[in-house]
Structure 1
Amino acid sequence: MNTRKSPIARLAGLGTIALVASVGLAACSSGGASSSTDSAGSGGDAGVTLIVKTTTNPFFVAMEDGAKAAADKAGVKLTLAAGKEDGDEDTQIQAIENAISKGDKGILITPNGPSVVDAIQKARDAGLYVIALDTAPDPADAVDITFATDNFKAGESIGKWTAAQLGGKKATIAMLDLFNDKVVSVDYNRDQGFLTGMGIDTADAQKNGDEAKTGKYSGGDYEIVGNEATDGAEDGGRTAMETLLSKNSDINVVYTINEPAAYGAYQALQAAGKEKDVLLVSIDGGCAGVKNVADGVIGATAQQYPVKMAELGVEAIAKLAADGTKPSTTAGLDFFDTGSALVTEKPVDGLDSITAAAATDICWGK
């Protein structure tokens, strides 16, 4: 989103997300295991399966909680499934197969990689309505619709914040991405958004690590020390940071794909005695991550709202089952934008943000 709202307006706006989504709709367990719950209501006997990337990340646990609450309200039978780890496509494919066999009305999925696309098509061919949450598949039209943060804009906001904080100093950058063995949209969109926000020219918009390693950012000179995969996990962030510090100990900017990776990076920086010399930025805005902003561990993060993604997804399939109404995308986008907000204790003139205290009240979209 190009225009950011004031903290008060942002908080008020979040309260209307579900209402806006409802207007849009009218207009147009852990470790790979599955569980299900039954409810009675407007959704009748419609079955919905939520398949998240992993339950080791609290982002996806919050998403499951949001789906459960929405299923209870809408009266649908909800099944939960998760990959064993971020990137586990096989378990997700099996969960899709299970949803087809059960005769579900729809699937909500945060895709773990390109290998799930064929299984998604099989589900759609069988008549299931498939909604991606958080991560659009490639191609985006492999699903019926995506409910997600504008991940490029989220990355762009932390990039602009970082450039402003540097005050013209050279940026020696560590890029802590998600994967190095597969391509997913959330990975390259956040990465490329951050670099664009910094004022660094990118090459292929759907590829990480192919930009010039040295050059000019909006405030001065930059050097990218390297891109390392973290698998979105704390231990991955720590290892990636250690690797890049061994290449260049002068790193003063660290971009991370998410907050678990950011905290791992912080541990490596702390062990090297460099935690006070680095601008560490991330994306998620989870409750723990927001506390890290308040504590000065993370300089800025972009908050997103997985609970809303899941709630709106369940509501959309319940509505489809009840009267055939399909959800609509946000005007001008090929997905439904569930919003984001820059969170920092060091605001920048001209860049809208909210404080950690304000973000705590709405973390995960609760």
Structure 2
Amino acid sequence: MLCGCRLAGSDMVYWEEVMGKWNILKAAVAGLAFYSAMATASHAADIVGLITKTEGNPFFVKMREGAQAKAKELGLTLQTFAGKFDGDNDSQVAAIENLISAGAKGFAIVPSDSSAIVPTIKKARDAGLLVIVLDTPLDPIDAADATFATDNFKAGELIGQWAKGTLGDKASSAKIAFLDLATNQPTVDYLRDQGFMKGFGIDIKDPKKYGDEADARICGHEMTGGAEDGGRTAMETLLQKCPDVSVMYTINEPAAAGGYQALKAAGKDDGSVLVVSIDGGCPGVKNVAAGVIGATSQQYPLKMAAMAMEAIEKFAKTGEKPKPTPGKEFFDTGATLITDKPVTGVESIDTKKGLELCWG
């Protein structure tokens, strides 16, 4: 306890020195606590996320590389996550929960299930995170703050128009095998499929569902998981149903590569089956040059991911959210048809130019 007595002389000087040092120490401690709190808040503000469907698909590998490069440039701390397989909604839910807990400012996601993930997306947005969807729009699309994607319907339509134009009169009697993505038919799946149908001249029934068509030219729809082994298995199944197949539509280029292996094993790698796809990765464009794939619609994952990182950083600084392409519900990152056998009336570039723009 402090006494109420008076101090004299040197005792008073000593006491003033002690109290002065105590006040300095208190100020230093308070300043350190404030700095620590600010550093923690600043660190949390720097966290951004990228969640893809899977780890190994070249499209998602390149998307991750694009996000990493842009995040580093902007000084952001990027956390990346991926599902165990295409359709793995549970892993994506867990990833979003982790980002919310980490205090992230936002994240970009390629949803495996465009409907099932919506409640968790809402939870993240309610917590103040900016949510940007890449490649595969949510259902409904406005469940996210923004969507950066290829116009997947247009990408499908381009290869459908090209296939129809290439076949000419034979298009009316074509036999078409559809190598689709997944049984739950996420948006990217049905949009590409239905886009191809429109381009080829097949009557679309429910625009958000495939498999309900009445067109006799359709051999069937089989799921590939967007993977090469899935593409081979799917095409083997369809060849049993439809040995006279003349067109093979594929959800992406890995599925196309697998489907082609099935055609080759069946002795149908002689050009009698027209193969079309979507992606525009370097291996796929090389397959176009080699004649394995007739045409592919190229999309741009690096652009999607980089734009997402920029948008989240801007949101963290200003609160401003990105806007869609005028006349659309999403920002269109573009799609370009690549083929060495152009069709009149269908805009395209050749594989030489496609290889300059490709990824993976």
TM-score (norm 1): 0.84
Quick one: distance in 2 between partners of 1:331 and 1:301? Answer: 26
Overall identity of the aligned pairs, in %: 60
Q: Contact conserved, 2:158 with 2:297, CA < 8 A, in 1? A: yes
User: Contact 2:263–2:269 (CA<8 Å) still a contact in 1?
Assistant: yes
Correspondence 1:175 to 2:175: no
User: Offset at 1:44?
Assistant: 9.1
User: Hey, what does 2:105 align to over in structure 1?
Assistant: 105
Give the aligned partner of residue 64 of structure 2. Answer: 64
Q: Quote how far apart the aligned CAs of 1:55 are.
A: 1.6
Deviations 1:84-123 (A, max 9, x none): 1111111111000000000000010000003221111111
Q: Is the Cα–Cα contact under 8 Å of residues 286 and 363 in structure 1 kept in the other structure? A: yes
SS of equivalent residue, structure 2 residue 132: strand
The residue aligned with 2:249 is 255
C-alpha distance in structure 2 between counterparts of 1:293 and 1:328, whole Å: 35
Q: Report matched runs for 1:87-166 at 5 Å.
A: 87-113=87-113, 114-166=115-167
Q: Provide the C-alpha distance between the structure 2 equivalents of 1:44 and 1:229, rounded to a whole number of angstroms.
A: 41
**Which residue of 2 is the match for residue 79 of structure 1?**
79
Q: Which amino acid aligns with 1:194?
A: F
1 or 2, which has the higher helix percentage?
2
1:43–1:319 Cα contact (<8 Å) kept? no
Contact 1:44 1:75 in 2 (8 A): no
Aligned length: 315
Partner residue, 1:6: none
| Partner amino acid, structure 1, of 2:165 | A
Partner residue in 1 for 2:275: 280
Distance 1:43 1:348, change over 3 A: farther
- C-alpha separation in 2, matches of 1:281 and 1:186: 16
Q: Which amino acid aligns with 1:211?
A: E
Note the 1:230-269 alignment, pairs <5 A: 230-269=224-263
Structure 1 residue aligned with 2:351, among 345, 350, 356? 356
Aligned counterparts of 1:43 and 1:73: Cα–Cα separation in 2: 16
> Structure 1: any 5+ residue segments left out of the alignment?
1-41, 215-222
Name which one, 1 or 2, has greater alpha-carbon Rg: 2
| DSSP-derived class of the 1:189 partner | helix
For 1:121, the aligned partner's letter is: K
After TM superposition, list the pairs within 5 Å mapping 1:314-325 onto structure 2.
314-325=309-320
The structural deviation recorded for 1:45 is: 4.0
Amino acid at match of 2:215: K
| Contact 1:329–1:335 (8 Å) recurs in 2 | yes
Secondary structure of 2:78's aligned partner: strand
1:191 corresponds to 2:173: no
Cα shift at 1:43: 10
Aligned match for 1:346, one of 338, 341, 348: 341
Q: Compute the displacement of 1:231 (Å).
A: 0.7
CA shift digits 1:140-188 (9 cap, x unpaired) = 11111100000000000000000011121121000111011x1311000
The 1-side partners of 2:236 and 2:175 are apart by: 15
Q: In structure 2, what is the Cα distance between the partners aligned to 1:135 and 1:203?
A: 21
> Aligned equivalents of 2:248 and 2:313: distance in 1?
42
- Over 3 Å counting, the alpha-carbon distance change for 1:334 and 1:250 in structure 2 is same
For 2:147 and 2:105, locate their aligned partners in 1 and report how far apart those are by CA, in whole Å: 17
- Using the size of structure 2 for normalisation, the TM-score is 0.86
- CA distance in 2 between counterparts of 1:128 and 1:244 reads 44
CA-CA distance at 1:306 after TM superposition: 0.4
For 2:181, the aligned partner's letter is L
Match of 1:201 in 2: 203
| 3-state secondary structure, aligned to 1:282 | strand
Q: Residue 186 of structure 1 aligns to a residue in which SS? A: helix
Q: Is the 8 A contact 1:44 1:76 kept in 2?
A: no
